[in-house]
Structure 1
């Protein structure tokens, strides 16, 4: 039992706060996309790389961040990550060049956010290992992603309208660097001897899970759902504007997604944590991936704003199953706690690749056909297919 005091719950709070900041910065990139379109007078396809790259880099940072955590510890990685994220956002405020903005906002900020995010993801399961409330603790921490998307969407829109896009990035830089302050709460655990640590390190260095066909099949499903997520996060606001709705209403849709993510992650944690519960994480993932496929039907009849709100709610529920307690539960159940930092890192990298491709391809389709109809079809296909790779392939222990 690693919980001998109330301190682990402060780790949950720290993880929650880091996720609020990281998701608030990266998952409002759809709003930033609209802002850049209006201020830089660039095309949709090339501008789509902004929202795509920052989330891709954030997730793709998972494997190297996992190694850094083993070498330097949670606290150092989180603090350095916050500094890098803040620096990237500050540099973004100084440019009027799209390429430089992609580098500073997409790569630098994304890398810093990814370092802090990796720590936030692995610290809570480690502190609560063996505790009956582990899944609930993970779910509570992961709710920060929904809260961040919810509260940052209107704030980003307000700061932009009131102070301009350059001051917006300065404000975000000040918020991003707070990951460093919060990161100080990630106190290293010292519950094993040197010999035990060496044994654990040997297990973590084992990449045998990559030989598992089920691992690749399930992660193809995660790739497809991330591909679809990237389309929504990158283009939903702009899509709403093409239907005649205001920019504020487009931004509000992201807040609705955030609320849905927050609530569903808590409910998923309760379901996985309940005594005597027979709910497996893989079953929850299959159900909510299926729900995401159903939600795509709404987009084809979404001329009314209320239908867009319903879609945003269902989409948030689907997105909630792509992370948090569900994914941690899947990876721990089938591949073991000792492999969590590597398997979770690979999971983040796969999601990152999906995020990289979705939004730009959607932008190219829109520019080619001058309508969002083929984009909606692409989203429908990817979301509807994703759950099949979990449902039809049994994941086996390594």
Structure 2
């Protein structure tokens, strides 16, 4: 008889098999995000072959990105779970682990961009896509590296879960097909879903979700239009692919260095601010892009944009974990990446429509830049308001009662010390001689 060893509840190991999880996530990002980014190299080929304008051709890339973030289809079944697994295995070195794992996107772009251009020249765009498809099959190897882990915080209410399971089993034993049993099972399911997705009612998460919509709108079009824009200002095909390689390799540096820096004690409490800083600077890079019309000017742009793109991509899971906690990280990340879907779907075609309508890339790049800057400003403003409210509550607490211990849950504040003093007074009165309850 074979014994099945169940995973024991534990703390994040911050190492061990966790590094294999990081390796698996690293390979997943190469096979998903890097391959998706390289679709921009096919852009001109698609446009020429199908004789379509910018807006129509952009749908190819936007649908790929949208379906990755929106469904349980294709890349989506690999990307989000792999990222969530890294968060399960790391706590103290979480930012560094995410930096290494997410650097696969940059490394893959650096290597694949010139290779894809060479494949297109040798085998046409059809043959290049077939070869890329064979490469993506390595996702099966990545999945074999994933090993589930059960954390202590995953069992915050074990008694409730045990009672629910026991009572459901008792109901089924009495009458498996009764209406009461079905209603009880549905109630338990609703309770479990309510606990799993309770973060959706958190104001901090709502603000983060809205900001992600604007950030995702801004970040996507560059990977579609960088190569066509470079070609439009006189850069050769090989040099345009080289710009994508530069963006990819600097993206790696941004992933790892920003992950390492934000794990340091001096910056560990400022990861949120670092995320805002990185998103805002990418927005500023967009605003400068229409003025850069030669290869020597586009190379520094690729370096700057690539570095801060790698930085904020690394910090998205970290910031999400700070907002919702480790227990709900997997579900929250699913929601965050789901929110990328709609902007990823509409932003490249909208940018293409602007290029077709204006005959220039300026309007498209400016719209993307302001979108990312607004995302950063929105989060920064929300953070500032939250700090001001906390400071005001502390000040009111000190003014009203020096012994007041303030417990806050959003805007609710109450005094535990005052309640304890009242109970002590009642106990003393009862114990006093001659006490008369009437």
Give TM-score scaled by structure 1 length.
0.80
Matches of 2:235 and 2:320, distance apart in 1 = 41
Q: 1:362 to 1:208 in 2, by over 3 A?
A: same
2:336 to 321, 324, 347: 347
Give the secondary structure class of the aligned counterpart of 2:235.
coil
2:117 to 157, 170, 177: 157
Instruction: Tell me by how many angstroms 1:122 deviates.
Output: 0.9
Matches of 1:220 and 1:320, distance apart in 2 = 21
Give the secondary structure class of the aligned counterpart of 2:363.
helix
Give the secondary structure class of the aligned counterpart of 1:245.
coil
Instruction: Tell me by how many angstroms 1:191 deviates.
Output: 6.2
Matches of 1:203 and 1:339, distance apart in 2 = 11
Q: 1:191 to 1:331 in 2, by over 3 A?
A: closer
Once the two structures are overlaid, the 10-residue window that deviates more, 35-44 or 13-22, is 35-44
The 5-angstrom pairing of residues 213-292 of structure 1 reads 213-275=203-265, 277-292=267-282
Give the secondary structure class of the aligned counterpart of 1:241.
helix
* Residue in structure 1 matched with residue 50 of structure 2 by the alignment: 40
Matches of 2:160 and 2:279, distance apart in 1 = 38
Larger radius of gyration: 2
Instruction: Tell me by how many angstroms 1:152 deviates.
Output: 1.3
Matches of 1:16 and 1:178, distance apart in 2 = 12
Query: Residue by residue, what CA displacement relative to the aligned partner does 1:141-169 show, whole Å, maximum 9, x if unpaired?
Result: 11111111221111111111111111111
1:386 to 375, 394, 397: 375
2:128 to 165, 168, 175: 168
Matches of 2:236 and 2:221, distance apart in 1 = 20
- Whether the aligned pair in 1 keeps the contact of 2:69 and 2:338 (CA below 8 Å) is yes
Once the two structures are overlaid, the 10-residue window that deviates more, 15-24 or 215-224, is 215-224
- Whether the aligned pair in 1 keeps the contact of 2:204 and 2:323 (CA below 8 Å) is no
Instruction: Tell me by how many angstroms 1:127 deviates.
Output: 1.8
Which ranges in structure 2 are unaligned for 5 or more consecutive residues? 1-10, 163-190, 387-408, 411-438
The 5-angstrom pairing of residues 263-342 of structure 1 reads 263-275=253-265, 277-324=267-314, 326-342=315-331
Query: Residue by residue, what CA displacement relative to the aligned partner does 1:308-332 show, whole Å, maximum 9, x if unpaired?
Result: 11111222223224422x1122111
Query: Residue by residue, what CA displacement relative to the aligned partner does 1:220-271 show, whole Å, maximum 9, x if unpaired?
Result: 2222221121221111111111111112222222212211221111112112
Matches of 2:138 and 2:319, distance apart in 1 = 31
Instruction: Tell me by how many angstroms 1:278 deviates.
Output: 4.2
Instruction: Tell me by how many angstroms 1:388 deviates.
Output: 0.7
* Residue in structure 1 matched with residue 34 of structure 2 by the alignment: 24
- Whether the aligned pair in 1 keeps the contact of 2:117 and 2:241 (CA below 8 Å) is yes
Pair 1:6 & 2:29 matched: no
1:57 to 42, 67, 76: 67
- Whether the aligned pair in 2 keeps the contact of 1:204 and 1:339 (CA below 8 Å) is no
Matches of 2:85 and 2:44, distance apart in 1 = 35
Q: How many pairs were matched up?
A: 347
The 5-angstrom pairing of residues 93-172 of structure 1 reads 111-128=73-90, 130=91, 132-172=92-132
Instruction: Tell me by how many angstroms 1:391 deviates.
Output: 0.9
